[in-house]
Structure 1
Amino acid sequence: MLILQNISYQHENKDMLFQNISFSLNNHDKTALIGNNGVGKSTLLKIISGELQPFSGQINQNSKPYFVPQLFGQFNDLTIAEALKIKEKLTSLKEILEGIVTEENLQLLNDDWTIEERCNEALSYWQLNDLDLNQKMETLSGGQKTKVFLAGIMIHEPDVVLLDEPSNHLDFAGRTLLYDFIKSTSSSLLIVSHDRTLLNILEKTFEMSRNGISVYGGNYGFYSEQKKIENNALEQDVQSKEKALKKAKEKERETIERQNKLDSKGKKKQEKSGVARIMMNTLRNKAENSSSKLKDVHAEKISGISEDLRQLRSSLPAIDQMKFGFNNASFHKGKIIFKALEINYKYNDHFLWKENLSFEILSGDRIAIKGQNGSGKTTLIKIILGKLAVEQGNVTSLAKKTIYIDQDYSLLNQDLKIYEQAQVFNDCGLEEHEIKMRLNRFLFSRNDWDKPCNSLSGGERMRLMICCLTISNEFPEVIILDEPTNNLDIQNIEILTAAINEYQGTLLVISHDQLFLEQINIEKSILL
């Protein structure tokens, strides 16, 4: 059992990251924690794990949770056994079995006589049999590091497990193992993830914002349906407020026109009746005050409706307006733009692929490049881009313009500010106000234009990348995406998905996110 009561966290600069986070995690619960990038999901997991202290609030739990972090660089200098905090137990067990039965060794082992057996079973399950527990973490790939910490769950057998983006560095086979483990484990799980296949395995969804947690009693699919209903209701509220605002403005105009007519009639009547000048000034002042009060009443009403409308609009999803917007007029589907005939590449005098590759890429194709880690997906991309020459076979490339977008969006110059970066792509001579309008459309307001690109989150970089491509407006025949969803939250994955589906050119994608591949209508695959 895990109970959070009114947890708040404040940055060192006194900015409040989130406040009043309250929820409970029951025994055997399997729960997703979702929310936009920057809302504080990872920070909350660190608070629950004890790595960070909250600004206020209280946490009640029966035992210390086991935490699988998103980043592992801090463990590079440790051995696997040290990172998993099992080195002392294993050393004590070894010494006891060798006859060194000291009080210290017995205390360190704490009757955990099956620790070595569990280690072997866990490493075997996660396909890490070839690793030595005394091996340094820095020698491992990102996927292997993730699996090491996932193995720690089976070794420590905790009641509560916290996982921060556990599928990020895993290939398809690793993800399948993770999904099976989540289904079978009896531990309570709280998982931060943008992997919607994983999220659909979980039984409950917590949506986190700066002001609290909204609980949805179902998996991500259920949550999505509920959000659609909420957004439809929100759109209806917006439309209702827009009508109310229009009506209020019409009422204000009619009332003022009517009052002006009455004032004009009264003035003419007073002039005809010969009312004294001083009396006419008094009557005129009264009429002006009356008109002013009417204007104030209507202005206050209009201002209130406008503010309500502004708040409602700010809550609406901004996906539909974020599209590539390329001119597809010159697009011709079906022509050959890349051809590979019996190609292969050598690493250390050994061919990368057991069998030579032969394939064609046609204009308009949507292709996934699949294979386990180390199978040569990135190498093939570099061959298609013309950055590597094949050791064997022939390639023919007819694409006029190809854009490569990796998970770090390295097409962006990290040394530039946002507006400066947008100007780099301004090859069609857009005016300054037009560029700033595009930036606004992609949620970069006036306050963001001078921000350096190196300060942006993964989702912000993705949005800036799409925005820059719309500014360029030069139709790329091929777009290559290399793990584009790895550093994105769900909202930004949906923005990217909508933008890609509007693009009609050729698409090559490396991704382990099966749902993403389905939603961008992948039709073919190259399996390495």
Structure 2
Amino acid sequence: MSLIRVSNLTFGYEGSYDNIFENVSFQIDTDWKLGFTGRNGRGKTTFLNLLLGKYEYSGKISANVCFEYFPYKVDDKECHTIDIVGDIYPEYLHWELMRELSFLEVSEDTLYRPFDTLSHGEQTKVLLATLFLKENSFLLIDEPTNHLDMKARRLVSDYLNSKSGFILVSHDRSFLDNCVDHIIAINKTNIEIQKGNFSSWWENKKRQDYFELAENEKLKRDIKRLSDSAKRTNKWSQEVEKTKFGTKNSGIKPDKGYIGHKSAKMMKRSKSIEKRQQSAIDEKSNLLKNLERSESLKISQLDYHNTKLAELEGVSIFYGEKMVCKDIGLTLEQGDRIALLGKNGSGKSSIIKLICGEDLEYTGNFRKASQLKISYVSQDTSHIQGNLTDYAANSGIDQSLFKAILRKLDFSRIQFEKDIASFSSGQKKKVLIAKSLSEKVHLHIWDEPLNYIDIISRMQIEELLLEYSPTLLFVEHDREFCNNIATKIIEL
């Protein structure tokens, strides 16, 4: 066991608007299994890169371990997989590699295929197995779930649960809950560490937020009461002070000593009240700094004159001679939120493309409502660029609603001035989702929309979908999201 100590860490990218970290201090045990959570753009990957020594920073990071980062960069994916493993870790022992691969249910023949012929899930598993061959290293595992289907996620989560000594960045709640024993969370103003999994951390956070909201309301009332009381007491003090000089023609000589003493006493009381008021203001200012606020929104989907929007009967889709899915049956009606599930390569994206209007070769019966307006969110975010104002104008959407959705998903106003190309992967996906929700359409079709999106934003997207109930067809491997959102599940 050893400790990683972070003291007064401050860091910001050159030319950026603000610092990502400001005087951050904490320590972690290298035997822990840490889940790393926080909003997109808060600095999770940046912090991992700071541990790796990639950037200059002020403050101090001390550790008696070597850090190892995942995912590994593979330069030549046409090489055989076993050669890729050897390039990453030349000292590996074959029997140890086979032991790790067996835990991940990867067969030995996978090693003797070109790396680029492996599925995304197989590539992830092979690289993870290689990562855990390296002893005496503290592992930094950055979003391993993005291209894993549900079955693979459960397998990898069980695998990580059997290990220790890592920081895991993941936005999948079920995945984290199954394999971590501590949470490190980047909040708005600090980094905190708690024992437990994501669900226990989230429950604690909700309790803390509820307490602070209640305390904030109490202090607001106290501040107003004390302010009114201070004004009254100050006014009384001034009125008493005036009587020291008596009134014209009264013939009565005032007791200036008594009146002065009474006035001073009232003034002292007024100062005491003002001091208590300022103390309450200071206490109030320390609350709600880490509250994840959300704005109220109004989203409406177009109604279609018919309830049935699309139907597939015995549909099989082909790419050349290769059949990617067989005998698919699906009926999509207004109000449905259908989750398409299945392992990678089972044809989920192909079904989506067919409904969206791509010219695919298929057999069977496929019918789609005429003049159906569809909003599509793809897996790819590389095509979006420019600032958000121009992007909204070019997309023909309501700019106010678009930006309000992004504000709900934790975009600061500073982000509205930046080029989208500089956004994190999760922030780019949020742009696509906000655009989709702002479009006037009959149907939303989303292909793995949550890749890279942080957990809190996922829950807020769930809230939006449940509140406004748009018709939705989606592919997603986040089990919690599917269970909470889908009205129908179709498994391929």
Distance in structure 2 (CA, Å) of the matches to 1:414 and 1:519: 29
Distance in structure 2 (CA, Å) of the matches to 1:193 and 1:479: 26
Is this contact kept in 2: 1:407–1:487, CA < 8 A?
A: no
Report the equivalent of 1:277. none
Name the amino acid aligned to 1:68.
F
Report the equivalent of 1:385. 356
Is residue 198 of structure 1 aligned with residue 175 of structure 2?
Answer: yes
Is this contact kept in 2: 1:17–1:210, CA < 8 A?
A: no
Q: Closer, same or farther in 2 for the Cα pair 1:443/1:369, shift >3 Å?
A: closer
Sequence identity of aligned pairs in percent? Answer: 24
Is this contact kept in 2: 1:5–1:20, CA < 8 A?
A: no
Q: Counterparts of 1:84-95 in structure 2 under 5 Å?
A: 84-85=85-86, 89=90
Q: Closer, same or farther in 2 for the Cα pair 1:442/1:212, shift >3 Å?
A: closer
Is residue 64 of structure 1 aligned with residue 66 of structure 2?
Answer: yes
1:142-172 CA deviation, whole Å, 9 max, x = no partner?
Answer: 4333222111145445564332112222122
Is this contact kept in 1: 2:385–2:419, CA < 8 A?
A: yes
Is this contact kept in 1: 2:70–2:142, CA < 8 A?
A: yes
Distance in structure 2 (CA, Å) of the matches to 1:259 and 1:227: 46
Is this contact kept in 1: 2:303–2:442, CA < 8 A?
A: no
Report the equivalent of 2:29. 25
Deviation, structure 1 residue 6: 2.6
Distance in structure 1 (CA, Å) of the matches to 2:468 and 2:431: 17
Report the equivalent of 1:518. 483
Q: Closer, same or farther in 2 for the Cα pair 1:232/1:3, shift >3 Å?
A: same
Distance in structure 2 (CA, Å) of the matches to 1:511 and 1:17: 30
Distance in structure 1 (CA, Å) of the matches to 2:236 and 2:408: 41
1:274-315 CA deviation, whole Å, 9 max, x = no partner?
Answer: xxxxxxxxxxxxxxxxxxxx9999999988867765663443
Report the equivalent of 1:455. 422
Equivalent residue of 1:168, what SS?
Answer: coil
Deviation, structure 1 residue 469: 5.5
Name the amino acid aligned to 1:315.
N
Q: Closer, same or farther in 2 for the Cα pair 1:193/1:240, shift >3 Å?
A: same
Report the equivalent of 1:177. 155
Equivalent residue of 1:345, what SS?
Answer: strand
Name the amino acid aligned to 2:467.
E
Report the equivalent of 1:373. 344
Name the amino acid aligned to 1:166.
P
Name the amino acid aligned to 2:472.
L
Distance in structure 1 (CA, Å) of the matches to 2:231 and 2:402: 36
Distance in structure 2 (CA, Å) of the matches to 1:302 and 1:426: 50
Distance in structure 2 (CA, Å) of the matches to 1:233 and 1:270: 55
Q: Closer, same or farther in 2 for the Cα pair 1:309/1:60, shift >3 Å?
A: closer
RMSD, aligned α-carbons: 4.2
Is residue 10 of structure 1 aligned with residue 21 of structure 2?
Answer: no
Is this contact kept in 2: 1:322–1:442, CA < 8 A?
A: no
Deviation, structure 1 residue 497: 1.7
Is residue 416 of structure 1 aligned with residue 380 of structure 2?
Answer: no
Is residue 146 of structure 1 aligned with residue 124 of structure 2?
Answer: yes
**Alignment gaps of 5+ in structure 1:** 90-108, 274-293
Is this contact kept in 2: 1:72–1:145, CA < 8 A?
A: no
Report the equivalent of 1:291. none
Is this contact kept in 2: 1:206–1:214, CA < 8 A?
A: yes
Q: Closer, same or farther in 2 for the Cα pair 1:3/1:168, shift >3 Å?
A: same
Name the amino acid aligned to 2:3.
I
Distance in structure 2 (CA, Å) of the matches to 1:339 and 1:131: 38
Q: Counterparts of 1:33-432 in structure 2 under 5 Å?
A: 33-49=36-52, 55-61=58-64, 63-69=65-71, 72=73, 80-81=81-82, 83-85=84-86, 89=90, 115-124=93-102, 125-127=104-106, 129-132=108-111, 135=114, 137=115, 140-158=118-136, 160-185=138-163, 187-201=164-178, 202-209=180-187, 213-247=191-225, 250-251=228-229, 312-319=287-294, 321=295, 323=297, 325-327=298-300, 330=303, 335-353=307-325, 355-398=326-369, 400-408=372-380, 414-424=384-394
Deviation, structure 1 residue 377: 1.0
Report the equivalent of 1:507. 472
Is this contact kept in 2: 1:342–1:357, CA < 8 A?
A: yes
Name the amino acid aligned to 1:221.
S
Name the amino acid aligned to 1:34.
T
Name the amino acid aligned to 2:421.
N
Distance in structure 2 (CA, Å) of the matches to 1:55 and 1:180: 38
Distance in structure 2 (CA, Å) of the matches to 1:407 and 1:303: 52
Equivalent residue of 2:63, what SS?
Answer: strand
Q: TM-score, normalised by structure 2?
A: 0.78
**Alignment gaps of 5+ in structure 2:** 251-268
Distance in structure 1 (CA, Å) of the matches to 2:395 and 2:227: 42
